Each structure stands twice: as structure tokens, then as C-alpha cells.
Amino acid sequence: MMDMDSIFQEVKAASRDLALLDNEKINEVLLAVADVAIQQAPYILNENAKDLGKMDVSDPMYDRLKLTHARLEDIAQGIRNVAKLPSPLGRVLKDVVCPNGMHLRRISVPFGVIGVIYEARPNVSFDVFSLCIKSGNACVLKGGSNADASNRAIVEIIHQALKSQGVNPHVVELLPPGHESAAALLHATGYVDLIIPRGSNNLIQFARHNATVPVIETGAGICHTYFDVFGDLAKGAAIINNAKTRRVTVCNALDCAIVHQARLKELPEIVSLLKSSNVVIYADKAAYEVLDGNYPAHLLEHATAESFGTEFLDYKMAIKIVGSFDEALAHIRANGSKHSESIITENEERAQRFLREVDAACVYVNVSTAFTDGGQFGLGAEIGISTQKLHARGPMGLEEITTYKWLIEGDGQIRKV
């Protein structure tokens, strides 16, 4: 077992070294990492194959875990894109001269050390590193045991690139898999400034309830799309299909379609596109009666109480029929995770009420929830989707992983009261 305190001390010291690097040097490092990721692709994929060999191919998490040459090319391009982004550091957020002549500036600065706990997504290792170094933060990674070989290969080649650029490799470290290292990270007060858990609701709640280091909650996405009485049928069917099937193992995937009862007869058309992806539908009583005989029998199930408020991360979806707009809002309030919610409607008043009244990080009108993504929002790669309200909310890019400090300059001012 590694000495956790020694790792944390080394990363903390390395975070101070980062302050000496200018943006040009940081960009050179990022480009070097992108290059070595492609050069070392055979090694990374070989290690990834070891992890894949331990997982059932039918497991929805298999796709998250899997790396390919194409995915590594996309990852490398994502790193290069981060290098092109403006630095989030040193931005003047407030600049004022007080009546007594004091000059106050509030500027953006790094957190220092960010700890990220995540599960079967080795691409996160690259994403977190690139965003953290670009924002002047060192990072401690705690991946899941099911992706450990992949993560170790990735951090190894990142260290190679850092050393080739004359940068302290301890700006990124990977902890051993297991609960002991997760617990150590959550209690690394004085070494780690912020924890960001990425993964299942169980993981996020574990971090939230056990950490003594500040935590930003991310990831748990129980997403709804409400098909309003004024919804366009073609738009709605396409949006629901895209939100559910584009990629089922991500947090912005659709979990529940809410349909106004006035559109109940059109329900078979609303869900017709889902058949080609073999999406299992958990339908409430009213929906089941309409879909019975109009949707493949082996893909149609009766909904239970547990069907609502569940993040499926699979080709599965619930359907809830409501009698009013207010009932739809109430269902979202009771079952959502404040991640991403959408309405399909051609009524502007309804659209504006939905935007105003739904409490979520991302609220959409006539758009698929699949767009909740840092890249889609123009933020570059993202470190996670925050579902809380303190500090950051929604996709967290470079700006969201900085904080600020006040700089005060004067000429002998003293306080008299």
C-alpha cells in the first residue's frame, strides 16, 4: 500500500511549481501529452484490454470503459483543443478604487490541488489532467478498480510527457484502487483543496457524506423530457430518441418521458423510434394500455414506483402520463436530480414557465438533454456536471475549476473605525 500522505505532500508541492509556468509552457505540455497519447496508443489499448477482459460485454459500463484508436484520437484532439483555449487565470473579475484610495482587484486563481474520484471511464484521466493543468491546478486521481490498468498506463505516459517538458510529474498522481485510498483522499485536509466525484449516485453520496475536504457534486443525472399538449410530434419523437439512445451510459441520457394525457393516443408515434435500439419501456397504467400491441411486447414492462427517479444508464426508460403542466412539474420536482430537464412545446408561455420554474442545472426547450456537455457548451473538455448550487452549476470547464482572491494596494491607509 502506497503512503498516502507522501503522495499528497508531493502533489501539494508540485502545485506550487505550477504557479511558475506561464500559459505558453502549459500549452506546450498539453500538446506533448496529446502527441504521446497517440504514440503510445498500442500500450494504452493493450492495458485497456486487460480491464475489458474482466468485465461482461453486456454490462452497460463496458462501453464507458472501452478505449479504441478512434477514441484516443478524439481524446488527443480534445487535449489540443484545451491548449487553444484562453487561460482562465489572472482574469480581473472586479476592479474598484475605494473612496480612501485603496485599489481593490478580484482575480481568478487556481484552487491548488483537486481530487477526482471516478469509475469505469479512463478518458476521465486525460480530461481531468488537461483541464487541471490548464487552470493551474495539480490533481489527484482515484479511479475504479475495473479501469486500473488503463488509468495506470495513461498516467504513466502523462508522466513521460511532463518529464520531457521539464515539469514536475507529481502535478498528477493516481491513487491505488480500493476504498482505503478513497477514504484517504476524502480526508486529505491541508493537501487537497477540492474533491469532485464523478460516477454513480452511490459514489457521489459516499463522497458527500464522508469528506472533510469540500466537495462539488457531479454526475447523477435523472433526466426527464416532458411532451406538452402543445408539443410537435416529429420534433418530440426525434428528441426523445436522441436523448435516450445517443449514448445510454452518460449522465445526460433520458430516463423518463412525461407525456400530457391529451397526446396519449399519439404515444406509439412518440416512442416509435426507440424500437430500433431495443429500448425497454417501463410504462405506467395509462401508457401501457396504449402501447400494448403498438410496441414490441418483449420491450414493454409495467412501471413500478422504482421506475421513476431511477438513472438507468441502459437502454431502458420510464413513461409517465400526466393530466396537466403542473403535474409534470411536480413529477420532475419529486424525481429529478437537478441535472437536465427538457420540454417539447410550441407554446411560448409554457416554454418560459418551464425555463423559469424547473430547478435544474440545465433546462431545455425543444432540445435533447444530450447537449449537457462541456464541449457542446463551448467550454472545451469538462471535469463534470455539477448538480449543486454552490460555486459551480452545470458543465464545469476551466473557469469553474478556478476560485479567486482579492488584491489590495494602497499608500499607507489605516482603518480608524
Query: Do 15 and 172 contact (CB within 8 A), yes or no?
Result: no
Q: How many domains does the chain have?
A: 2
Q: Which residues, at least 6 apart from 2, have a Cβ–Cβ distance to it below 8 Å?
A: 175, 176, 181
* 228 and 213 in a common domain: no
Residues 6+ apart with CB under 8 A from 415: none
**For residues 309 and 334, is the Cβ–Cβ distance under 8 A?**
yes
| Cβ neighbours of residue 357 closer than 8 Å, sequence gap 6 or more | 329
Domain coverage including residue 247: 223-371
- Residue 218, pLDDT score: 79
pLDDT of residue 217: 81
Cell 499607507 found at: 412
pLDDT at 3: 85
Q: In this structure, are 41 and 166 located in the same domain?
A: yes
Does residue 242 form part of some domain? yes
CA–CA dist 154, 258 (Å, integer): 41
Same domain, 234 and 359: yes
Q: Is residue 414 part of a domain?
A: no
**Same domain for 284 and 152?**
no
What is the pLDDT at residue 220? Answer: 73
Answer whether residue 176 is part of any domain. Answer: yes
**CATH code of 402's domain:** 3.40.605.10
Grid coordinates belonging to 168? 514536475
Mean pLDDT per 10-residue segment, the chain (417 residues): 86 94 97 97 97 89 91 95 94 97 97 93 93 97 95 98 97 93 95 90 85 86 96 98 93 96 98 97 98 97 96 95 98 96 98 98 97 86 85 91 97 93
Clarify whether residues 242 and 204 are in a common domain: no
- Same domain for 319 and 266: yes
C-alpha cell recorded at residue 68: 479504441
Whichever domain contains 250, its CATH number is 3.40.309.10
pTM, two decimals, is 0.88
214 and 231 co-located in one domain: no
Q: Do residue 94 and residue 241 come from a single domain?
A: no
Question: Does 174 lie in the same domain as 296?
Answer: no
Amino acid (one-letter) located at 352: Q
Instruction: Find out whether 366 and 235 touch, Cβ atoms under 8 Å.
Output: yes
- Cβ distance 371 to 364 under 8 Å? yes
Tell me if 417 is assigned to some domain. Answer: no
Note whether residue 359 is domain-resident.
yes
The predicted pLDDT at position 221 comes to 87
Q: Are residues 73 and 132 in the same domain?
A: yes
Please check whether residues 285 and 395 belong to one and the same domain.
no
| pLDDT score recorded for residue 219 | 66
52 and 185: one domain?
yes
Domain membership flag for residue 377 = no
